[in-house]
């Protein structure tokens, strides 16, 4: 009896001691694990809770940093990638991110842009997946920036989605970013090391690197919609004043490498807005095949000032037909695949969608589902 109660008292004392330890010690240490951004040491539990609480209430901007903060990496070694997507194609963005980080050892920082309704959806998706340690930020695209500026005459109405124009506003979306950046459409998969693409040279005087569409395989696949005449109305006097050759080669706006400080200096956003705005008042974009969308203003602004991208780094037109345009062997060697066109890799019939499936991560909320047979 005496021994037992002595044991009980001992256990109670031990529990009390541990409780005291937890009460005084843990509050000073837990926050440093939870809030990786805080560099200053935290004084008490009450300093922490409101701050953690606040960081959950920044709807327009979610930031997250790689866990290895002490690494002191050299900022000039970071590869900046921008991807934009609306709620309907969010799965494309997730698969693309996964493909990029699966094929590089370099530090990639993702600058992601989506619509108001998808900001939290995307953040939750990333944090619940194997992508949770990537370095990324998410911005909401304010649709008011383009309201009243989009006018699609005939053609494909889906090209009028405001998110299609987010690429015009990179310096405004990411004011702190002055570096080189790669913009990639969300219907792409990267199979090479992104550092090679990032190193694409932008020649002196040029504004960006793009892929032209009037040579080789791309000429055949694009079936003639590969010159300026297909996208612009050359009867418009403002277009005429630009002195553009109607037979000049058009380029694909779904992939480009540019320098954001130069973009700002050259007022590229202002120029793109000028053409968008003008097109709402008079016909600038020409025929229905061009269809409007974000392509024609870019062709007007970047005319004659583009550097090339390595052809293996932009294998495109995979979404042009449901049949196969490329052999499996060729696809395996491509560094970047682009399903531009109607047949998206998450849709029912698309060529080589097995490659895309390898990188797709299912949506924990179940909102985005690729359509698959059987
Ligand atoms: C953290 O970064 C340092 C310096 O770059 C590196 O040596 C180390 O391996 C990294 N640790 C992890 C866990 O990635
Ligand atoms: C980072 O890299 C650049 C270019 O390679 C170099 O000039 C700079 O000194 C480096 N900075 C640090 C802190 O290592
Ligand atoms: C940028 O370009 C637009 C269109 O040409 C022009 O209206 C605007 O004043 C320019 N802004 C600056 C700061 O030069």
User: What is the rounded average pLDDT for all residues in the chain?
Assistant: 84
236-257 exposure pattern, b = at least 16 Cβ within 10 A, e = fewer: beebeebebeeebebbbbbbbb
Q: Which two tokens stand for residue 286?
A: 């020409």
Q: What is the mean pLDDT of residues 130-155?
A: 90
Question: How many angstroms does the Cα of residue 274 sit away from the middle of ligand 3?
Answer: 8
- Is the beta carbon of 71 within 6 A of some atom in ligand 1? yes
Domains of the chain: 58-66+75-311 (3.90.550.10)
User: For the residues 117-134, what does the mean pLDDT come to?
Assistant: 96
What does the CA dihedral 171, 172, 173, 176 come to, rounded to 10 degrees?
60
List the residue whose alpha carbon is closest to atom 2 of ligand 3.
270
Kindly report, residue by residue over 94-125, the tens digit of the pLDDT: 999 999 999 999 999 999 999 999 999 999 99
Least confident of 12-26, 36-50, 95-109: 36-50
- The more confident residue out of 20 and 68 is 20
Q: How far is the CA of 270 from the centre of ligand 3 (A)?
A: 5
User: Is the CB–ligand 3 distance for residue 269 below 6 Å?
Assistant: no
Question: Does residue 271 line the site of ligand 3, with CB under 6 A?
Answer: yes
Q: Which ligand approaches the C-alpha of residue 74 most closely?
A: 2
% of the chain at pLDDT higher than 90:
63
Give the mutation target among 242, 267, 271 for probing the ligand 3 site: most ligand atoms within 8 A of CB.
267
Q: What pTM does this model have?
A: 0.78
Pocket, ligand 2, Cβ cutoff 6 A: 74, 76
* Dihedral sign, Cα of residue 192, residue 189, residue 290, residue 237: negative
| Cα–Cα distance measured from residue 145 to residue 141, given in angstroms and rounded to the nearest whole number | 8
For ligand 3, atom 3: residue with the closest CA? 270
Nearest by Cα to 135 from 107, 157, 154: 107
Confidence of residue 27 (pLDDT cuts 50, 70, 90): very low
SS in 3 state form for 76-118?
A: HHCEEEEEECCHHHHHHHHHHHHHHHHCCCCCEEEEEEECHHH
Name the closest ligand to CA 272. Answer: 3
Atom 10 of ligand 3, residue of closest alpha carbon: 270
Q: Which residues partner with 138 through β-bridges? A: 62, 112
- CA 278 – ligand 1 centroid, Å: 52
- CB 68 less than 6 A from any atom of ligand 1: yes
Atom number in ligand 3 closest to CA 274: 4
- Ligand nearest to the backbone CA of 276: 3
* pLDDT average, residue stretch 75-101: 95
What are 332-374's pLDDT values in tens digits? 999 999 999 889 999 988 999 999 999 999 999 999 999 986 5
- 78 — pLDDT class (breaks 50, 70, 90): very high
Residue whose CA is at the smallest distance from ligand 3 atom 12: 267
What is the pLDDT at residue 11? 79
Measured in Å, residue 169 CA sits from the centre of ligand 2 at 29
Is 274 touching ligand 3 by the criterion CB < 6 Å? yes
pLDDT at 198 over 60: yes
pLDDT at 16: 77
- Torsion sign (Cα): 341, 246, 224, 314: negative
**Residue 214 and residue 252: Cα distance in Å, rounded?**
11
pLDDT of residue 40 exceeding 80, the answer is no
- Position in ligand 2 atom list of the atom nearest CA 72: 13
Ligand nearest to the CA of 75: 2
Pocket test for ligand 1, best of 71, 72, 73, 106 (most atoms within 8 A of CB): 71
- SS3 string, the chain, reads CHHHHHHHHHHHHHHHHHHHHHHHHHHHHHHHHHCCCCCCCCCCHHHHHHHHHHHCCCCCEEEECCCCHHHCCCHHHCEEEEEECCHHHHHHHHHHHHHHHHCCCCCEEEEEEECHHHHHHHHHHHHCCCCCCCEEEEEECCHHHCCCCCCCCCCCHHHHCHHHHHHHHHHHHCCCCCCEEEEECCCEEECCCHHHHHCCCCCCCCCEEEEECCCHHHHHHHCCCCEHHHCCCCCCHHHHHCCCCCCCECEEEEEEEEEHHHHHHCCHHHHHHHHHHHHHHCCCCCCCCCCCCCHHHHHHHHCCCEEECCHHHCECCCECCCCCCCCHHHHHHCCEEECCECCCCCCCCCCCHHHHHCCCCCCCCCCCCCCCCC
Identify the pLDDT of residue 374.
56
Q: Tell me which ligand sits closest to the C-alpha of residue 66.
A: 1
CB 286 within 8 A of CB 231: yes
- The Cα 366–Cα 348 span in angstroms is 18
For residue 34, the model assigns a pLDDT of 38
**Atom number of ligand 3 nearest to Cα 273:** 4
Ligand 3 centroid distance, CA of 239 (Å) = 17
pLDDT digits (tens, 9 = 90+) for 300-329: 999 999 999 999 999 999 998 888 889 999
- Which ligand is located closest to the Cα atom of residue 297? 3
């Amino acid at each position: 009896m005496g021994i037992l109660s002595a044991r009980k008292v001992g256990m109670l004392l031990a529990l009390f001691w541990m409780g005291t330890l937890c009460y005084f010690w843990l509050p000073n240490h837990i926050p440093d694990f939870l809030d990786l951004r805080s560099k200053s040491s935290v004084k008490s539990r009450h300093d922490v809770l409101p701050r953690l609480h606040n960081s959950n209430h920044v709807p327009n901007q979610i930031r997250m940093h790689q866990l290895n903060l002490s690494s002191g990496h050299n900022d000039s070694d970071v590869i900046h990638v921008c991807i934009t997507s609306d709620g309907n194609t969010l799965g494309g963005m997730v698969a693309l991110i996964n493909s990029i980080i699966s094929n590089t050892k370099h530090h990639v920082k993702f600058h992601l842009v989506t619509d108001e309704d998808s900001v939290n959806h995307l953040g939750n998706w990333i944090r619940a997946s194997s992508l949770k340690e990537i370095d990324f930020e998410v911005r909401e695209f304010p649709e008011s920036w383009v309201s009243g500026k989009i006018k699609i005459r005939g053609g494909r109405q889906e090209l009028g989605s405001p998110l299609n124009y987010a690429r015009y506003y990179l310096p405004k979306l990411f004011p702190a970013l002055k570096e080189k950046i790669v913009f990639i459409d969300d219907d792409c998969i990267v199979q090479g090391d992104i550092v090679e693409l990032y190193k694409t040279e932008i020649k002196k005087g040029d504004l960006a690197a793009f892929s032209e569409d009037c040579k080789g395989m791309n000429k055949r696949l694009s079936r003639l919609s590969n010159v300026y005449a297909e996208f612009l109305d050359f009867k418009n006097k403002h277009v005429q004043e630009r002195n553009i050759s109607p037979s000049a080669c058009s380029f694909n706006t779904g992939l480009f490498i540019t320098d954001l400080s130069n973009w700002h200096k050259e007022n590229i956003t202002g120029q793109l807005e000028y053409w968008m705005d003008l097109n709402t008042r008079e016909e600038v974009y020409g025929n229905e095949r061009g269809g409007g969308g974000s392509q024609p203003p870019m062709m007007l602004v970047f005319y004659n000032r583009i550097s090339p991208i390595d052809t293996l780094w932009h294998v495109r037109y995979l979404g042009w037909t449901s049949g196969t345009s490329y052999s499996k062997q060729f696809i395996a060697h491509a560094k970047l695949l682009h399903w531009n066109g109607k047949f998206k890799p998450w849709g029912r019939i698309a060529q080589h969608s097995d490659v895309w499936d390898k990188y797709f991560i299912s949506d924990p909320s179940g909102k985005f589902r690729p359509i698959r047979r059987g």
